[in-house]
Amino acid sequence: MQTWSKNGVMLSFNRLAGATAVSLFLAAPLTRAEARPVEAAPHVLELFTAQGCTGCAEADQAIKTVIGRPDVLVLAFPVDYWDYLGWKDTLARPEFTQRQAAYKAHFKLRETYSPQLVIDGRSEGAGVDTARIARATARPATATAHIRLSHGKVRVTGRAPEGGADIWLVRYDPQDQAVQVKSGENRGKTLSQQNIVRSLVKLGRWRGASASYPLPPGADASVRTVVLAQTPRGGAILGVAQF
């Protein structure tokens, strides 16, 4: 374990051990044209990573062992708070850092750190532990929000918790991204990252009744679209669909 501190906030990462993922085939593969029914929704694995974080390079590789499993959806969120070490992350966005901050508050963590893996908005841990992933995904994901695409709009039905849920639009690139880091702690390395989130937008609040939200057009045909229903302020993910 290594740590750094900036402005009183401790940042840390775990060195990761390589492991073989356990494949659990619980659902049929997605197609680009049709959203997977919520009843067979995948577990959502969110990796908070950074090009300027030495331990994150191992996590970026380890998460690839579960990308492609039909029962999981991996989303990599590059964060920007490592930029002070000398390398400005080329893929990071402040809204990704804000999303991780919401998880920090929700899980009552003392510090923000990376690499961090959040599973279904229900559990979190350092790095990519495939044994923990296997335990967390041993059963099909529980979904109480039903998400469909109809006439260019996202339609959400089902049962919402008290206080409702946020509807998030996520667009990510499934292609491997190679970045040459020229300064900072990873200077001289070429980092490889996959399923990098390109945009994160909240479409609105859902209260439980049937509701529709306009789906903004995507700027890049190669980028995939995901819609999440999630308890506010970094809570549990209640439903997911990929279009």
- Convert the pLDDT of each residue in 122-131 to its tens digit: 999 999 999 9
> Using CA atoms, how far apart are residues 35 and 14, in angstroms rounded to an integer?
36
Residue 1 lies in a domain: no
Residue 52 lies in a domain: yes
pLDDT of residue 218: 82
The amino acid sitting at 154 is V
- Give the chain's domain count: 1
pLDDT of residue 26: 29
Residue 2 lies in a domain: no
Q: What is the pLDDT along the chain (243 residues), one digit of tens a residue?
A: 443 433 334 444 433 333 333 222 223 333 343 343 435 689 999 999 999 999 999 999 999 999 999 999 999 999 999 999 999 999 999 999 999 999 999 999 999 999 999 999 999 999 999 999 999 999 998 899 999 998 889 999 999 999 999 999 999 999 999 999 999 999 999 999 999 999 999 999 999 999 999 999 887 889 999 999 999 999 999 999 998
- Strand 196-206 vs strand 43-49: parallel, antiparallel, or unpaired? unpaired
pLDDT of residue 219: 76
Three-state secondary structure call for residue 228: strand
Residue 185 lies in a domain: yes
DSSP letter string, 174-197:
-S-EEEE--SSTTTT-EEEE-SEE
pLDDT of residue 1: 41
Helices and strands, number each (H, E), in the chain: 3, 15
CA 158 to chain CA centroid, nearest Å: 23
> Using CA atoms, how far apart are residues 55 and 16, in angstroms rounded to an integer?
7
Q: Sign of dihedral through CA atoms 17, 90, 201, 233? A: positive
Whether the model clears a pTM of 0.75, i.e. scores above it, the answer is yes
Residue 170 lies in a domain: yes
Residue 169 lies in a domain: yes
pLDDT tens sequence across 144-203 = 999 999 888 999 999 999 999 999 999 999 999 999 999 999 999 999 999 999 999 999
Strand partners, 46: 75, 118
Three-state secondary structure call for residue 119: strand
Whether 77 contacts 48, CB under 8 Å: yes
3-state secondary structure string, 144-185? CEEEEEECCEEEEEECCCCCCEEEEEEEEECCCEEEECCCCC
Residue 31 lies in a domain: yes
Residue 40 lies in a domain: yes
* Domain hosting residue 177, numbered range: 7-14+27-242
Whether 158 contacts 208, CB under 8 Å: yes
